[in-house]
């Protein structure tokens, strides 16, 4: 079953085409690596998927709901972590997560159990009482993932979730994301290619707004008839004019 379906998606900003006739699908429970150079159209695509931006043309469905016709139904299905986590630094972790859970429609009777669930999943239980601005960047990223998990959305869209983390923090967040496979459908956007190799099942590569590759890691590596690393494949496809 396809949890995300994108068909002939195009997004224009006047004369500039940010996303050009993009078509792909993501199966339920799959982790898709979403790659491309800066300016390739990744963030624009994710913003269209989450309903933050309208498309110029094309069809996008999430869990069977049309993003443009049923935006509220789609938002209920998606947990979104933008590159800069949407945190309120002056709040405690508990206060912030309670606030977001209330916005997501989590009932008062389920609130405590839901906060406990997402904090256990992200390893943030012991910092629940701390003020967010006093946390390390690694824990702020974990809190950002925790807010995306609230309400058990079917789809998670994570934009550079390990950006700026040290190697230990990066490995911890990577293992956290790997553990979400099967429970959630995940789109993971990152510039760190080894992270994709260790985390994702399939890869989509954008270049200048157009899809240049969409396949399993194994198939991409054999595309030219000889074994290629993901980095070699990425450079070959995105260096082309």
Assessment of whether the complete model's pTM goes beyond 0.85: yes
pLDDT tens-place values along the chain, 241 residues long: 789 999 999 999 988 999 999 999 999 999 999 999 988 999 999 999 998 899 999 999 999 999 999 999 999 999 999 888 889 999 999 999 999 999 988 999 999 999 999 999 888 999 999 999 999 988 998 999 999 999 999 999 999 888 778 888 888 888 888 888 888 999 999 888 888 998 998 999 999 999 999 999 888 877 655 667 888 888 988 885 4
| pLDDT at site 118 | 93
User: Tell me, what's the pLDDT at 181?
Assistant: 82
Predicted confidence at residue 225, as pLDDT, reads: 58
The reported pLDDT for the residue numbered 112 is 94
Which residues, at least 6 apart from 108, have a Cβ–Cβ distance to it below 8 Å?
none
The per-residue pLDDT for 135 is 94
What pLDDT score was predicted for residue 47? 92
The correct CATH number of 2-84+154-238 out of 3.40.50.150, 3.60.15.10, 3.40.718.10, 3.40.50.300 is: 3.40.50.300
CA distances, 70 to each of 67, 217, 236 (Å):
6, 33, 39
Where along the chain do its domains lie? Answer: 2-84+154-238
pLDDT at 16: 92
Three-class DSSP labels, the chain: CEEEEEEEEEEEECCEEEEEEEEEEEECCCEEEEECCCCCCHHHHHHHHCCCCCCCEEEEEECCEECCCCHHHHHHHEEEECCCCCCCCCCEHHHHHHHHHHHCCCCHHHHHHHHHHHHHHHCCHHHCCCEHHHCCHHHHHHHHHHHHHCCCCCEEEEECCCCCCCHHHHHHHHHHHHCCECCEEEEEECCCHHHHHHHCCEEEEEECCEEEEEEEHHHHHCCCCCCCCHHHHHHHHHCCC
């Amino acid at each position: 079953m396809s949890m995300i379906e994108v068909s002939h998606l195009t997004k224009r900003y006047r004369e500039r085409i940010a996303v050009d006739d993009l078509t792909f699908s993501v199966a339920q429970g799959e982790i898709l690596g979403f790659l491309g150079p800066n300016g390739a159209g990744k963030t624009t695509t994710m913003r269209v998927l989450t309903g933050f931006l309208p498309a110029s043309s094309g069809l996008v469905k999430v869990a069977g709901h049309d993003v443009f016709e049923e935006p509220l139904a789609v938002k209920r299905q998606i947990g979104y972590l933008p590159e800069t986590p949407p945190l309120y630094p002056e709040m405690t972790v508990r206060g912030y997560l309670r606030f977001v859970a209330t916005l997501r429609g989590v009932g008062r009777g389920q609130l405590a159990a839901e906060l406990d669930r997402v904090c256990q999943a992200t390893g943030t239980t012991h910092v629940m009482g701390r003020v967010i601005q006093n946390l390390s960047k690694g824990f702020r990223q974990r809190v950002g993932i925790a807010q995306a998990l609230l309400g058990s959305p079917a789809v998670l869209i994570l934009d550079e979730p390990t950006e700026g983390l040290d190697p230990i923090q990066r490995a911890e967040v990577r293992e956290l994301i790997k553990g979400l496979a099967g429970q959630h459908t995940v789109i993971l956007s990152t510039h760190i290619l080894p992270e994709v190799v260790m985390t994702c099942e399939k890869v989509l590569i954008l270049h200048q707004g157009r899809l240049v590759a969409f396949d399993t890691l194994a198939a991409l590596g054999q595309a030219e008839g000889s074994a290629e690393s993901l980095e070699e494949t990425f450079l070959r496809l995105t260096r082309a004019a």
